[in-house]
Chain A
Amino acid sequence: MALESLDTVVLSRWQFALTAIFHMLWPVLTTGMSIYLVVIEGLWLKTKNLTYYHHARFWSKLYILNFGIGVASGLPMAFQFGLNWAPFSESVGDFFGTLLGFEATMAFMLEASFLGIMIFGWQRVPPVMHWISTICVAFGANLSTFWILSANSWLQTPTGGVFVEGKFRVQDYFQAIANPFMVKSFAHMFFATLETSLFVIGGISAWYLLQNRLPNFFTKSLKVVLVMALVIAPLQVFVGHLSAEQVYHYQPAKLAAMEALWETVPAGTPADWSVIALPNEAAETNTFEVKIPALLSYLLALRPKLDTPILGLKEWAPSDRPHLVGLIYYSFRLMVAIGLYLAALAIVTIFVWWRTGLEGDRLRNYQWLWWGWIFAGPLGYLAVEAGWIVRCVGRQPWIVYGQLRTAEAASDLPPQVVLFSLSGLVALYTIFFFAALFFGSRIIQKGPNVALPIPGQANAEELEIRIKLAQHQPDRRPLDI
């Protein structure tokens, strides 16, 4: 019994981790990119400059590819709470289920419904209506982020009710939704999706610039990205800092794991910040470590010495503290490093823009900078995944922090069955991941169609691409074909 149920818990955890890590890759881009599309389409409506319209058409091709895989991989997310975590679903369903229901009714339906118009409706609705559809898509996507982050934050800091006999009874819904982690976590994720998308768009634009392919077109997208990134990237570093601070206050065991801190740092003594460490869980110490004196104190309170102690991992019994300390420690550092790199890149590029005006041949002297942008393209994803690993692996052994243990929350299924679904998902996800890379790079290779006439006029590309939706009934609007 013991061994069997352990296996099921481990397999269910693997399945959840894998589904979440894979699923997250796609909505991260579509959520952030939707805001970029609202901006670029708004610029088109405002300036009537056709380039912005072509940008909207080009980037939305990547959008739809990512959206499809996002929906597909989101389905197992939506169902596995019941499939693999039935005791959890029953225990917190009153609240947690309500929020997932909200996410679907308020947010996802909005996004999915208007997406049809956003992608296929260029010839069917007036430009302003199209822009409103794009705004609805962006609003829906970001509202999804809000509900998901509220639900996840509640798992980190459950408030707004009490646990009676293992079942959560809500006393105040608004307090539960606005739990202590919610605001900063949502802000952190909101900026993360936007920042990741901006640097993906920027990275792809830089790739074109490096090849000197459509340089005027892609300096345009790069400029929009730059203006947005210059605000977002430094702000994200700051919001990230606030998020780490709330971990310090609410989840000291997670903070200790993020810092690989085994011994408590008493109040009134400086806390060092470790740069590199080799955590050894068996020996409850770091076999090797490089530290910067007092930096952690400065980071947490802007003072050389803290008023309250920072608890070390040894304060908790091994069964009550997070494991995989090394993973949490390095994921955190990776995320921080990427956040700093992206902010620095935005600032450096602004100087180059100031020097060159980002026009013409002078840009070619800055190959190193374009490589820096291409390199930055995938980094946002890495930072997001690393951040979620810190957040959710660091929460262990709890599924609802301090209230419900992960091991008690898993469905009692035969391990072979979970293994079956797990291996099925691994196989599919692997294929989809590489296929998406392949087709995504093909869209990029092919490049934008800058000959596309504005909506309402005879459309050469669409004519070439075979099928048209034509009106059956006589229609006063201009004919598509």
Chain B
Amino acid sequence: MEPSPLAPLEHFLPQVWFFILGLFLFLYILLDGFDLGIGILSLTSSNERRRNILMTSLGNVWDANETWLVLMGGSLFGAFPLAYATILNALYLPAVIMVVGLILRAVSFEFRENANNKRVWNLAFGIGSFLAALGQGFAVGTVFEGIKVDAAGHFAGGIWDWLTWHSLLVALTLIQGYVLIGSTYLIYKTTGELQQTHYRTATIAAWTTFIGAVLITITAPIFHEQLRAQLFQPPLFYIFAAIPLLGVLLIFLLLRSLQKREEVMPLVWTFLLFLLSFIGLGFVIFPNIIPPSVTIYEASASPSAQVFMLIFVAFLIPIMLAYNLYNYLVFRGKVVA
């Protein structure tokens, strides 16, 4: 290959793209997170009126929220084709579970609107949400744990590699996290009896998420040799000491705001908790994109491709954020019966 005029950028570009993908993924987990959480919570709704409110709170946003995932997939494909191919190969079954879940959820959302007998579609909506969250949880867990690859970076593991105790733990914790953010979103969007119910579900979910996070934090360095080596080196060590401490503080603030029956703050604390966990995950993975061995530099598309995409995408991100925000602004306020 001839030397490219873009050579000085070869170090910088993959980092920018890692950040952009991180942003897309974070926005997805945050936004579709509360959608999926509400979907899972809808399984516990005691009557159709309550379920209606839950669904109405999602009506105008669910497809825009889900689009961040499509965006993530498309950008990963363009910016890191090797990672896109290898990770999806390794995650075939969790990805299928997730996709089936999302399909089920989206379709039952529309069918339910028109159905006389809503029970089937209610159930399909809840189960779809749960399956999507489960598939995503296993995917996150597996990426966190590492994917077996050969010298060329191609997937070299088995079809069941993703199914381990540790990825199951991550999956269950993610589901709890989604239920938590779904509950705090509902606290913000609803009133009365329904709001009281979700103060309760939020409190329970806060505790279960907390327990899950503690278990993950403790078990990760014990079971993963490479992670242990990485974690206990001086510069990162302080960061990894700080993250759990901040996490405990946030959980405390969250539980207190729930106890004080605040309406907006639980959502804010949950948001910060998600951000903190996500940054922690980013630190563990960086500079790899297929942990534990393929770096963002090795999996990158050519610099010209990354520059070309960057020119457009960097310009579009503020626009996308603006009209998403506008959408939330138009539909601000409480959903009431």
Binding site for B on A (CB under 8 A): 64-65, 67-69, 71-76, 78-79, 81-83, 86-87, 89-90, 92-106, 108-110, 112-117, 119-121, 124-125, 136, 164, 169-170, 173, 411, 413-414, 417, 420-421, 424-425, 428, 432, 435-436, 439, 442-443, 466-473, 475
A86 touches which one: B85, B104, B304 (CB < 8 A)? B85
B249 within 8 A of A: no
Question: With an 8 A cutoff between CB atoms, is B327 at the interface?
Answer: yes
Given contacts A109-B320, A114-B323, contact A413 B85 (CB under 8 A): no
Q: Which of B62-117 contact A (CB under 8 A)?
A: 63-64, 66-67, 69-71, 73-79, 81-82, 84-89, 92-93, 95-96, 99-100, 102-107, 109-111, 113-115
Q: Separation in Å of the A20 CB from the closest CB of chain B?
A: 15
**At the interface, yes or no: B330 with Cβ under 8 Å from chain A?**
yes
- In the complex, whether B336 has a CB less than 8 A from a CB of chain A is yes
| B7 CB, min distance to chain A CBs, angstroms | 15
Residues of A within 8 A of B261 (CB): none
Does B331 contact A124, Cβ atoms closer than 8 Å? Answer: yes
Q: List 5 A-B contacts (CB under 8 A).
A: A64-B110, A86-B89, A105-B71, A121-B330, A469-B56
A8 to B: closest C-beta gap in Å: 12
From DSSP, what is the main secondary structure of chain A's interface residues? helix
Q: Mark B213-257, 1 if CB is under 8 A from A, else 0.
A: 000000000000000000000000000000000000000000000
Contact A76 B60 (CB under 8 A): no
- Asked if A82 meets B89 with Cβ closer than 8 Å, knowing A113-B323, A443-B114, the reply is yes
Q: How far is the CB of A172 from chain B (nearest CB, A)?
A: 10
Tell me the nearest residue of chain B to A425, going by C-beta. B100
Are A432 and B337 in contact (CB-based, < 8 A)? no
List chain B residues, Cβ under 8 A from A99.
78
Identify the stretch in B168-176, B179-187, B203-211, B308-316 within 8 Å (CB) of chain A at 4 or more residues: B308-316
Contact (Cβ within 8 A) A421 B96: yes
Given contacts A83-B88, A112-B63, A411-B89, contact A466 B327 (CB under 8 A): no
Cβ–Cβ contact A116 & B52, under 8 A? no
Given A82-B85, A90-B81, A470-B336, check contact A105 B56 (CB 8 Å): no
Q: How far is the CA of A83 from the CA of B71 in the complex (A)?
A: 16
Contacts of A475 in B (CB 8 A): 333
Across-interface contacts of B30 in A (CB, < 8 A): none
Q: How far is the CA of A469 from the CA of B109 in the complex (A)?
A: 18
Write the chain A residue with the least CB distance to B335: A469
Min CB–CB distance A409 → chain B (angstroms): 11
B59 within 8 A of A: yes
Closest-CB distance, B103 to chain A (whole angstroms): 4
> Is the CB of B324 closer than 8 A to any CB of chain A?
yes
Of the listed residues B92, B154, B312, the one surrounded by the most CB atoms of chain A closer than 10 A to its CB is B92
